[in-house]
Chains A and B, each alone.
Chain A
Amino acid sequence: MAHPLENLIALAGNPNCGKTTLFNAITGARRHVGNYPGITVEKKEGYCHVNGRQIQLVDLPGTYSLTAYSPEELVARNYLIQDRPSAVINIVDSSNLERNLYLTVQLLELGIPVLIALNMVDMAAARGLEINSEELGRRLRLPVIPTVARTGRGKEELLEAAAQLLQKGAVWEPLYISYGPDIDPVLDKMESLIRSVGFLTDSHPARWTALKYLEADEEVIRKGKEKDATLSGKLEELAEQVSQHLQKTLDSYPEAIIADHRYGFISALLKQGVVKQSHKADRLYLSDQLDRVLTNRFFGPVLMMLIIYAVYKFTFTYSKVPVGWLEAGFSELGRLADSSLPPGPFKSLIVSGVIDGVGGVLGFVPLILFMFFAIAFLEDTGYLARVAYMLDRVFRTFGLHGSSVIAYIISGVIAGGCAVPGMIAASTLRSSRERIATLITAPFMNCGAKLPVFAMLIAAFFPAKEAQVMFLLTLLSWAAALLIAKLIRSTILRGPSTPFLLELPPYRLPTFKGLLIHTWERAWQYIRKAGTIILAISIIFWALMSFPGLPETERKIYDEERASILADAPQRVKEPLLDAGASAANPAGDPGSQARLQEVDNEEAQAALKNSIAGRIGSGLTLISSVTGFDWRTNVALLSGIAAKEIIISTMGTAYSLGRTRRGEKIPLSARLAADLSWTPLKAFSLIIFIMLYAPCFATVTCIIRESTWKWGLFSMAFNTLTAFIISALVYRGGLWLGLG
């Protein structure tokens, strides 16, 4: 039977077995990263050519098993069952053969044709392990090809073998192994029952279905119930009988017995001539020696701090220059649009809505690239697993998981991360409770976009104490995130914690190419978001802040003022001023009249902002925000900050009629606020706290929705804003009470 997917091959393997490296080596640039429908597990696809045949490759998520507990495992399994690729290339870490073959056995139980890539044979050899791949292949009756994915060794032979397998037209042939005298008879009975009525047999091998019933696999049992409730009930009953019998006689469970026999099958397979260990088995390897220091009781945490600090140092030092280029590029683009488009709402839309909005987000791309590069390095070397190991105890206290650490670090454990990739990193958390608690609280971290706003306020109200205040803010954000995580986990997301069971892979030096691919794939997700959702939201916010505009009568007053300034100006400067248009600054003009013209423009912009929808909302909100000490200007700025936090500065600039302040130009606003008598350090601090904690930016909210549901996205906006309000009200009112105002 001709199959539409006859040249489709899936790559399966344990995490850290070099699967992605091999996938990259085979497909090169001919690849595409997406998501499996409806879930956040990444789907990587690519293709290659072998002997004139195009082979489609799918990189399945890395899993240890094919049970139905984690989304990754379920995705991998369902892909194999539903999409029925012609074969699976199973990548096996040769220095960790037994555990890797556990997945292989499960693939073989499913019956799909398998090729084994015996990966990292060089590492195994360095550890004194010699594996007879031919003998292993002969015993398993499938091709086993030694490879080194890092260098590409064995790649050609592997593809050649795959092509041969496709040529032959391999068929599904489930592996039958013995699970012992308690399981085997009932398995046979269940299998014949299944066969007799063709229960699920169009997609699932009969014995496999029976095995899953014995393993109490929820997913298969659910499917079975839908298909044929009576037979499903009968199978469940049989499984229950065995289970009770085993508990009585052996104090064990069918799934435990099955796992024991799988491992038993593997040990038998590897005995006598397949694996030869030449060195002493318990020699301490370099990786273990490194762990003696890097996870040491005392040096571990100290070095961890230093390493995280180095990540930020690296990111900020090297991204400064390209960030500057991009900012300059976007402001140049803005100027170009400003001078070439006719005045009016369309120009305003392009300049303030599109270029400023998208530019503000894309300006972060270099920073994110560098940050991702550093994180990818730590991840690919195996260090992040150690961080999760060292900090799990702390995070568990607050209802989180050791793996939440990574999302927190990326979001800005040390000020300057970004919650967007942080949210993406949270997808590795399996339990939805811990994942959602992480998604809600990680945006409390001080991301790179909050930094310029903090810097502006600190410069205005806490000069000469910048470092101390920044440090205090970092500690406050940690405390807030952890305590609120605890609050959420003991109220709305109450429940037991997920099993930890984390592998510490041996330290490895990642390849530069691998790091670049890893970095780029993540950064691209961010860029794509800037081009779509952020663009749309920028336009909405631009509209909120531009309409309905000033009434005709008021606009006339400003026009008249401008006209009178022009009339007063000396004759020699009048013409260039008129030529350049009433509002454009002209270097050749008279500085006095020009400054006055600019002032009128700024006042008009301020009045227009106050009259806009956003301005009215901001004014209306003062009823509530007086508790935290914010006036309408701050409210509008905070509102605009939901689009992206750094926009707070430019909106405040407009609200204080400072004209169009470019992002990063913090001096004028900072000085203006410092001179304003209605502002006090206490008020500024209350604002900083509010900005630290309130609704995540839209890019982050989109990611939260992607990693959970839209309800949690909306929840994060409402809940975080409420949290911010309560805490900054406490700070402000408490401060006033203490006489700090």
Chain B
Amino acid sequence: MAIVLLRKMAKGQKGTIHRVTASGEIGRRIRDMGLVPGTPFQVQGRAPLKDPVAIRLRNFTLTLRNSESDFIEAEVEEV
């Protein structure tokens, strides 16, 4: 297991939310959408300009900017 930032993850890669380091509005938005520690997800793809990123979790698709995904640490299988 390794901890990486969501931004660094590749398309199709799976992971589990390890920690959300944001507080305030961004932090609350992220948590409201179900990104809390222990949540499994998969990177679904990126927009044509490589940003935002689309992830699949809890049976829905969420998109977030790279700058926002920097607040999200994920646990991934070591390659």
* Nearest A-chain residue to B60, judged by Cβ: A96
The answer to whether B65 touches A256 (Cβ under 8 A) is no
The answer to whether B62 touches A501 (Cβ under 8 A) is yes
Q: Which residues of B contact A578 (CB under 8 A)?
A: none
Quote the shortest CB–CB distance from A102 to chain B (angstroms): 7
The answer to whether A288 touches B44 (Cβ under 8 A) is yes
The answer to whether B58 touches A67 (Cβ under 8 A) is no
A292 to B25, CA, bound (A): 31
The answer to whether A499 touches B49 (Cβ under 8 A) is no
The answer to whether A393 touches B49 (Cβ under 8 A) is yes
The answer to whether A499 touches B60 (Cβ under 8 A) is no
The interface-forming segment of A156-164, A295-303, A514-522, A639-647 is A295-303
State which of B30, B45, B47, B59 has its C-beta within 8 Å of the C-beta of A501. B30
The answer to whether B32 touches A64 (Cβ under 8 A) is yes
> CB-defined interface of A504-519 with B at 8 Å, one 1/0 digit per residue?
1110000000000000
Interface centre among A69, A256, A260, A396 (most CB of B within 10 A): A256
B29 interface contact, C-beta 8 A? yes
B51 interface contact, C-beta 8 A? yes
Given A260-B37, A390-B48, residue A502 in contact with residue B63 (CB < 8 A): yes
The answer to whether B51 touches A65 (Cβ under 8 A) is no
The answer to whether A102 touches B34 (Cβ under 8 A) is yes
Interface centre among A127, A253, A500, A505 (most CB of B within 10 A): A500
B70 interface contact, C-beta 8 A? no
State which of A127, A255, A396 has its C-beta within 8 Å of the C-beta of B23. A255
Q: Which residues of B contact A328 (CB under 8 A)?
A: none
Quote the shortest CB–CB distance from A254 to chain B (angstroms): 10
* Nearest A-chain residue to B26, judged by Cβ: A499
Given A98-B59, A393-B47, A504-B63, residue A255 in contact with residue B28 (CB < 8 A): yes
Q: Which residues of B contact A172 (CB under 8 A)?
A: none
A559 interface contact, C-beta 8 A? no
* Nearest B-chain residue to A297, judged by Cβ: B48
A259 to B20, CA, bound (A): 11
Q: Which residues of B contact A288 (CB under 8 A)?
A: 44, 56, 61
* Nearest B-chain residue to A250, judged by Cβ: B19
The answer to whether A501 touches B64 (Cβ under 8 A) is yes
A291 interface contact, C-beta 8 A? yes
Please tell me the size bucket of the interface on A: 35 or more
B28-79, CB < 8 A from A: 28-34, 36-37, 39, 42, 44-45, 47-52, 54, 56, 58-65, 68
Q: Which residues of B contact A253 (CB under 8 A)?
A: 23, 27
A292 to B61, CA, bound (A): 13
Given A69-B25, A98-B58, A263-B36, residue A500 in contact with residue B49 (CB < 8 A): no
The answer to whether B62 touches A504 (Cβ under 8 A) is yes
The answer to whether A392 touches B65 (Cβ under 8 A) is yes
Given A393-B51, A503-B61, residue A259 in contact with residue B36 (CB < 8 A): yes
Q: Which residues of B contact A392 (CB under 8 A)?
A: 47, 51-52, 65
State which of B27, B30, B36, B60 has its C-beta within 8 Å of the C-beta of A503. B60
A99 to B39, CA, bound (A): 11
* Nearest A-chain residue to B61, judged by Cβ: A504
State which of B27, B32, B59 has its C-beta within 8 Å of the C-beta of A65. B32
The answer to whether A96 touches B59 (Cβ under 8 A) is yes
The answer to whether A501 touches B29 (Cβ under 8 A) is yes
Quote the shortest CB–CB distance from A231 to chain B (angstroms): 25
Q: Which residues of B contact A296 (CB under 8 A)?
A: 48
The answer to whether A291 touches B31 (Cβ under 8 A) is no
The answer to whether B63 touches A500 (Cβ under 8 A) is yes
A251 to B27, CA, bound (A): 14
Q: Which residues of A contact B47 (CB under 8 A)?
A: 295, 300, 389-390, 392-393
A501 to B30, CA, bound (A): 7
A394 to B58, CA, bound (A): 29
State which of B28, B48, B50 has its C-beta within 8 Å of the C-beta of A69. B28
* Nearest A-chain residue to B33, judged by Cβ: A501
State which of B42, B50, B68 has its C-beta within 8 Å of the C-beta of A500. B68
Q: Which residues of A contact B58 (CB under 8 A)?
A: 96, 98-99
The answer to whether B33 touches A282 (Cβ under 8 A) is no
A657 interface contact, C-beta 8 A? no
The answer to whether A389 touches B52 (Cβ under 8 A) is yes
Q: Which residues of A contact B51 (CB under 8 A)?
A: 392-393
Quote the shortest CB–CB distance from A35 to chain B (angstroms): 25
State which of B25, B26, B60 has its C-beta within 8 Å of the C-beta of A99. B60
A104 interface contact, C-beta 8 A? no
Quote the shortest CB–CB distance from A264 to chain B (angstroms): 8
Interface centre among B34, B54, B56 (most CB of A within 10 A): B34
Q: Which residues of B contact A506 (CB under 8 A)?
A: 60-61
* Nearest B-chain residue to A253, judged by Cβ: B23
State which of A67, A291, A396, A500 has its C-beta within 8 Å of the C-beta of B64. A500
Q: Which residues of B contact A298 (CB under 8 A)?
A: 48
A129 to B49, CA, bound (A): 35
A239-253, CB < 8 A from B: 251, 253
Quote the shortest CB–CB distance from B71 to chain A (angstroms): 10
* Nearest A-chain residue to B32, judged by Cβ: A65
A86 interface contact, C-beta 8 A? no
A residues bordering B, Cβ < 8 Å? 64-65, 67, 69, 95-99, 102, 127, 129, 251, 253, 255-256, 259-260, 263, 282, 288, 291-292, 295-298, 300-301, 389-390, 392-394, 396, 402, 499-506
Q: What are 16 A-B residue pairs whose CB atoms fall within 8 Å in the complex?
A: A255-B23, A256-B20, A256-B31, A259-B32, A263-B34, A263-B39, A292-B45, A295-B47, A392-B51, A499-B65, A501-B64, A501-B68, A502-B52, A504-B60, A504-B62, A506-B60
Q: Which 9 A-B pairs have the closest CB atoms?
A: A393-B49, A259-B31, A65-B32, A504-B61, A99-B34, A98-B58, A500-B65, A64-B32, A96-B60
